[in-house]
Structure 1
């Protein structure tokens, strides 16, 4: 605040100093001097005033550039001094404010140059406005400026031809720079997104108009002023409009925040409801706005239909919306809105409750999407299992029983005529029946293991640990009864986890822990292997997750690279 006040005082004193210089100058008098003084003070204070207001409202870099242009404009009026030194200094600085204007238009609204062309253009402008201007002064007489001007304090040698050549070269280069700047402005507006175009338009149009006016003024000067002072007047008028366009841009942003009130009204239960994304899009002025909703259960974002949503877009910016310290949603919007954080924050605050409600709806949609996908996977898995059982029965036990039937028929045919052959056929039938029983027992183990039926989950997990090819330990704290279907689900989770450990983990040890607590069966299988396990679609773990979720349980996998794998399951026992 102290710095802003200091700059305001400096600008005020500078304006008074300019009035004094013009009033005492031998170069102008009467009405012409009064008009020059009014123009000087009005334009200079307009730039400094708009700069301080912009600075005050958080856009410090743009504000400082405007203040610099205003003070540089005041500095040009040192050329009205009757003293040689101050006259020469004012003449040397007469183009500095033009360099400031070009820099302002190139960096607006972000406050920084955005590319090589901008930087090259700016470098050429600085050289033209300082180095070339000083080179001209070293060779020029003060009479070139005006008849009553003081002596040029830095003139080393008077060479009108060289001085005029430098001046014409400066004008030609300035003409090229102005044309390139106009092309850049038009291209930037054409390529800009809607929020950027809305933000840039007031300044770019006035800046572009100023460059066009500069082109006309330069051509008029080179041609010997056939249009008189009209181009200079036009250039000064457009120059004075630039700070007004800055303030208009700020006012537009202020008015845009009124859209927040409209947003609140729209979200306050209007007839038929309102599309939240469309309402936010209108409030922020970004037709391409996208909204993702946070799901704490999976720590991912989804869209309003429950589908996966990726907030990382290199061409966009994102704003996280929180309520009570918890993430609710993310808005992916145009980068230009980062320059108006107050508007974005106001919209997020106004829509917080609606976003929370929409998040719950999106969470439900995501659960429905996952439920449908899980059901499809379960149906496919059940069909695949049915076909496997059918194939195993057909290729195994069924063939055995057919062979037994044929052996019995052969024994029956030979019973009287050849008792020895009949006995051999019966022996073969007996062996076939035994093998069929073994195969049927193996099949039944795949459906529900006998140890699980006869001795319960604890004994079945211990049996899995004994059969494991990886050294396994068991920690059992099963103090409450577990329903048979829950036991089966837990058994197959542990079995699949041990199988994956043996195949993929390269582990030296695995631990199976199971406990019942608060109506839940908690099962954890942990190994010290390489990690990296995922429950991808089509994998055994994905099928286990579907089975567990089908019983209202949850399955979580923590498997960092080189950190081992921990598979945790919670299943309701009531």
Structure 2
């Protein structure tokens, strides 16, 4: 009862109360009245079914697997329905007992057969229980075994005595032998609560000692893994794992800074969070047994909270260094790809036109004296080719860095981008003042890449762009009403933008729930110094239906 009141969420206390109550009710068997007698006789096996359930569920009070639930259900059915079936065909008055009000027909042979079948089922269930408990004990940690050993020994002894008592009763051995087993069974059953108490006390004392040792070891050296080892010893779980929370990236990492996936339901592991001042710091991934007594895990987490916070910072630093190396590699690859693209565009476009122009000029020079009219025509054609090459070079340069962005600033460049986009784009907000060139370029390419993805993948009917200052930061937000479900890791476009923004100490986030559109948000540091008014913007609306896709994007990037 005390365990139930102390922790009502744990079913163990309720099961212990049910065990004691059912055993008291089965005492009605000593009465001389028919109905109370048959009720006590009918419930005589129920306490052992409940004990069967308790042993399977200890220490959490819950049956964790389908096999355990099936075993418990079989035990309850055998103790109730099986005994009830036997009572339908036995006349208890022949044994000098009160009358059986449930008697349908007195069939001694059928009763013997049913009793033997029921006894066989009981014996099989006890054997299966022993195998389950032995396997569980063998796989348990040291701390878990401290709690399991006295409980399993006492509970197993009670069930074994019950099985022997039932066998002797069916075999018809002497009443003295049955009475001796009956007394031993009752005495053993009375010790069950003390066995549970001993198991819990052993676990609690060992936990206190482990906590004391943990506090002493927290001052040890900074060897990587020392904290994990100390916590593993304190909880008695050699397989303990630690994960650390990165609030900016909203993900878990390990001590080396690599991403960490928390185990899901059915994995056989329990996750216990550690917080400091209401903030998540770390996650202890451990064996489920210490979680049955949350005080130990909570005390361990509180004692190691500061050390976990320090190690979290170290892990965050390692994660940032790893990301920085990867970002540098991607920037180099992007720059190389951009150069190769420019070389290919120059070779296939302007270079061929210039080579043809050189040939045309050479031909015109050779004919200028002999055929001035033909030479003049060749010069006209060369002039047209030269103008076409210049246009192509301007288009190529505009793809690298839009001229309107350099000349008129971010607001005008976004208006021009919106007019070229085949999906209606609303420029809801844009800074009127000029910003530092790297910040303007980063903001522009974020919008350009996001709009390109809207056109290519989002199946959207409209998009909305907001660029505004928020204190010392520039917030860039592009939202669409498309199908959502974008994957930031699938494609180099968004990764390239994330690298560009990260180079300015900013952050790029993506929200793209399926069916709810996509929102790209960049937060770029933008101090007030260096800001000055922009030239007058071009006239026109920010919502348009142009006929070509946006061609301005980050060098070397493609839609993510």
Give the conservation status (yes or no) of the 8 Å contact 1:194–1:285. Answer: no
Distance (Å, rounded) in 2 between the aligned partners of 1:401 and 1:482: 38
Distance (Å, rounded) in 1 between the aligned partners of 2:50 and 2:513: 55
Q: How many residues are paired up? A: 514
Alpha carbons of 1:109 and 1:326: their partners in 2 closer, same or farther (altered >3 Å)? same
Q: Secondary structure at 2:382's aligned position in 1? A: helix
Give the conservation status (yes or no) of the 8 Å contact 1:99–1:129. Answer: no
Alpha carbons of 1:133 and 1:404: their partners in 2 closer, same or farther (altered >3 Å)? same
Give the conservation status (yes or no) of the 8 Å contact 1:125–1:174. Answer: no
- Paired residues for 1:75-154 under 5 Å: 95=45, 97-111=47-61, 114-127=68-81, 132=86, 136=90, 138-142=92-96, 152-154=97-99
The answer to whether residue 202 in structure 2 is matched with residue 252 in structure 1 is: yes
Give the conservation status (yes or no) of the 8 Å contact 1:317–1:332. Answer: yes
- Paired residues for 1:140-539 under 5 Å: 140-142=94-96, 152-154=97-99, 166=111, 170=115, 173-191=118-136, 193-195=139-141, 199-220=147-168, 222=171, 224=173, 235=185, 238-239=188-189, 241-258=191-208, 259-269=210-220, 272=223, 275-315=226-266, 316-475=269-428, 478=431, 480-516=433-469, 518-539=471-492
Distance (Å, rounded) in 2 between the aligned partners of 1:90 and 1:518: 78
Q: Secondary structure at 2:293's aligned position in 1? A: helix
Alpha carbons of 1:533 and 1:251: their partners in 2 closer, same or farther (altered >3 Å)? same
Alpha carbons of 1:468 and 1:207: their partners in 2 closer, same or farther (altered >3 Å)? same
Which deviates further from its counterpart, 274-283 or 116-125? 274-283
Shift of 1:168: 7.8
Distance (Å, rounded) in 2 between the aligned partners of 1:310 and 1:68: 40
Which deviates further from its counterpart, 382-391 or 413-422? 413-422
Which deviates further from its counterpart, 531-540 or 366-375? 531-540
Distance (Å, rounded) in 2 between the aligned partners of 1:124 and 1:381: 71
**What's the C-alpha RMSD, in Å, of the aligned pairs?**
3.8
Q: Secondary structure at 1:512's aligned position in 2? A: strand
Q: Secondary structure at 1:140's aligned position in 2? A: helix
Shift of 1:83: 10
Unaligned residue ranges in structure 2 (runs of 5+): 528-560
Distance (Å, rounded) in 1 between the aligned partners of 2:463 and 2:26: 83
- CA displacement 1:469-513 (0-9 Å, x = unmatched): 233343555365422222222222222222223333444443433
Distance (Å, rounded) in 1 between the aligned partners of 2:503 and 2:457: 27
Distance (Å, rounded) in 1 between the aligned partners of 2:519 and 2:488: 12
Alpha carbons of 1:477 and 1:236: their partners in 2 closer, same or farther (altered >3 Å)? closer
Which deviates further from its counterpart, 421-430 or 131-140? 131-140
Give the conservation status (yes or no) of the 8 Å contact 2:257–2:319. Answer: yes
Give the conservation status (yes or no) of the 8 Å contact 1:138–1:156. Answer: no
Give the conservation status (yes or no) of the 8 Å contact 1:318–1:332. Answer: yes
Give the conservation status (yes or no) of the 8 Å contact 1:470–1:507. Answer: yes
Which deviates further from its counterpart, 379-388 or 302-311? 302-311
Determine the structure 1 residue equivalent to 2:550: none
Q: Secondary structure at 1:308's aligned position in 2? A: coil
The answer to whether residue 7 in structure 2 is matched with residue 58 in structure 1 is: yes
Give the conservation status (yes or no) of the 8 Å contact 1:78–1:90. Answer: yes
Distance (Å, rounded) in 2 between the aligned partners of 1:499 and 1:80: 86
Alpha carbons of 1:157 and 1:299: their partners in 2 closer, same or farther (altered >3 Å)? closer
Which deviates further from its counterpart, 508-517 or 233-242? 233-242
TM-score by length of structure 2 reads 0.78
- CA displacement 1:433-464 (0-9 Å, x = unmatched): 22222221111112222222233323222222
- CA displacement 1:521-541 (0-9 Å, x = unmatched): 333334444444442342422
Q: Secondary structure at 1:309's aligned position in 2? A: coil
Match of residue 507, structure 2, among 546, 554, 558? 554
Determine the structure 2 residue equivalent to 1:12: none
Give the conservation status (yes or no) of the 8 Å contact 2:48–2:159. Answer: no
Alpha carbons of 1:395 and 1:256: their partners in 2 closer, same or farther (altered >3 Å)? same
Q: Which has the larger radius of gyration?
A: 1
Give the conservation status (yes or no) of the 8 Å contact 1:531–1:564. Answer: yes
Unaligned residue ranges in structure 1 (runs of 5+): 1-51, 143-151
Q: Secondary structure at 1:287's aligned position in 2? A: coil
Alpha carbons of 1:438 and 1:128: their partners in 2 closer, same or farther (altered >3 Å)? closer
Distance (Å, rounded) in 2 between the aligned partners of 1:476 and 1:61: 58
Alpha carbons of 1:292 and 1:399: their partners in 2 closer, same or farther (altered >3 Å)? same
Shift of 1:271: 7.3
TM-score by length of structure 1 reads 0.77
Distance (Å, rounded) in 1 between the aligned partners of 2:38 and 2:123: 26
Distance (Å, rounded) in 1 between the aligned partners of 2:520 and 2:449: 11
Distance (Å, rounded) in 2 between the aligned partners of 1:312 and 1:232: 47
- CA displacement 1:140-194 (0-9 Å, x = unmatched): 333xxxxxxxxx3326899xx9568746853663354134312222234315642
Distance (Å, rounded) in 2 between the aligned partners of 1:288 and 1:176: 38
Q: Secondary structure at 1:522's aligned position in 2? A: strand
